[in-house]
Structure 1
Amino acid sequence: MARVLRAYVRWADRLADWTGWAAMWLIFMMVGVLLLDAVMRNVVRSPIHWGVELAQFTLAAYFFMGGAITLKDDDHVRMDLLYGRLGPRGRQRMDLVTVLCLGFYLVVMLIGSISSLRYAIATDERRFSIWNPSMIPIKALMVACLVLMLMQAVSLAIKHWSALRGVPLDGSDPLPPAGRGA
């Protein structure tokens, strides 16, 4: 069973890394679109109506896609009222409880986003603007990224549970010091 859990954690972590890498490149795409929009509007005097909206969609995709790697790398914001005072075992327990609460939240968000995606598909939902883009791609990406975040939350729960049991999955110290947020 430990082999299966190790394989799942490695797979989920690699997927989070790949998705984070892909998200990183979206910033360059967004800057390119905004630069093109500025040049077309101010230099050529022929504005493109889709530039700002495409940049907004790209930024939304960037945030969605960055969720799993943010969880994996422990780069999220942690409010440290109690966490820093806890010992290593207490931090692992707190992290496990937190990731379980996060899992519940992500499941609720996933249910809502699937419903929203179904509605967008059924009604061919579009954004009301001159460009009039379909909302289906961004909503589908939101569903996929919530699934990725949920997979990463499961991976984190496995890591914290294993560390609490004294059997870390990666062969490191079973109870490492606090992460960057502490």
Structure 2
Amino acid sequence: MHRAMKRYIRAIDRMNRWLGRMTMYLVFVLMGVLLWSSFSKSFLAPAAWTLETAQFVMVAYYVLGGPYSIQLGSNVRMDLFYGDWSPRTKAWVDAVTIFFLLYYLVILFLGAVSSTAYSLGYFGSDPFVFFGDLFATFLTDGLSGAREKIGFLERSPTAWRPQIWPIKVVLCVGVLLMILQCIAEFFRDLERLSGGEPDAA
């Protein structure tokens, strides 16, 4: 069991470390969009796409960087108490409180999946069945068959009117990766409590 837990920790840490480091470069994309927005407003006709693009990039930066932030331990803690505790006490507290974070993330993930299904034109009450059917159709009938399953695509109510589903998919992926990283952190705490030290990825 310990070996399987260590393998899981290494695999999730490696994946989220790589994604987190790639996500950091979205700051430069965001800067470029905002610079163009300022330039176009000053010297050209204002671009309709810059504000929402900046918002979408910021959402991707925040959500996809979340798992790496959890891995680094840079999420918010009450260091007034936490900083003076022993590593074993920290592991105990983390192993218990991680369930509160997991509960929140699971609820967030369910809402994100439901919202993503809505943005693809599904108005029913079981989005997982919709996505399972969509995936099965894609495997059997290809992209054209999957397109027939998709209904009215939700768009932003702004002048630019972009489709909303891509950023909602990013939200689903980011929250799912945060859930997987939280499980890795729980396993890491169990390793520390059992007297071992989990391997670094």
Identify the TM-score tier after normalising by the shorter chain: 0.7 to 0.9
Q: Where does residue 89 of structure 2 map in the other structure?
A: 90
Cα distance in 2, alignment partners of residues 135 and 58 from structure 1: 13
Cα distance in 1, alignment partners of residues 87 and 105 from structure 2: 26
Unaligned runs of 5+ in 2: 122-151
Deviations 1:116-153 (A, max 9, x none): 11111114111111100111011000000011000100
Residue number among 168, 172, 182 corresponding to 2:197 in the alignment: 168
Cα distance in 2, alignment partners of residues 59 and 53 from structure 1: 10
Cα distance in 1, alignment partners of residues 8 and 87 from structure 2: 24
Q: Where does residue 159 of structure 1 map in the other structure?
A: 188
Question: Offset at 1:168?
Answer: 2.1
Unaligned runs of 5+ in 1: 172-182
Question: Offset at 1:102?
Answer: 1.0
Cα distance in 2, alignment partners of residues 66 and 16 from structure 1: 8
Q: Where does residue 2 of structure 2 map in the other structure?
A: 2
Contact 1:83 1:94 in 2 (8 A): no
| TM-score, normalization by structure 2 | 0.80
Question: Offset at 1:49?
Answer: 0.5
1:1-150 correspondence runs (5 A) = 1-43=1-43, 45-122=44-121, 123-150=152-179
Percent of residue pairs identical: 34
Cα distance in 2, alignment partners of residues 11 and 134 from structure 1: 33
- What amino acid is the match of 1:50? W
Cα distance in 2, alignment partners of residues 90 and 11 from structure 1: 26
| TM-score, normalization by structure 1 | 0.88
Higher mean alpha-carbon deviation, 109-118 vs 85-94, is at 85-94
Question: Offset at 1:85?
Answer: 4.5
Question: Offset at 1:158?
Answer: 0.2
For residue 188 of structure 2, give the secondary structure of its aligned residue in structure 1. helix
- Matched residue count: 170
Cα distance in 2, alignment partners of residues 168 and 65 from structure 1: 27
Cα distance in 1, alignment partners of residues 168 and 58 from structure 2: 13
Question: Offset at 1:83?
Answer: 2.4
Higher mean alpha-carbon deviation, 99-108 vs 64-73, is at 99-108
Higher mean alpha-carbon deviation, 150-159 vs 77-86, is at 77-86
Cα distance in 2, alignment partners of residues 109 and 72 from structure 1: 19
- What amino acid is the match of 1:127? S
Q: Please, what is the CA RMSD of the aligned residues? A: 1.5
- What amino acid is the match of 2:73? D
Cα distance in 1, alignment partners of residues 70 and 187 from structure 2: 13
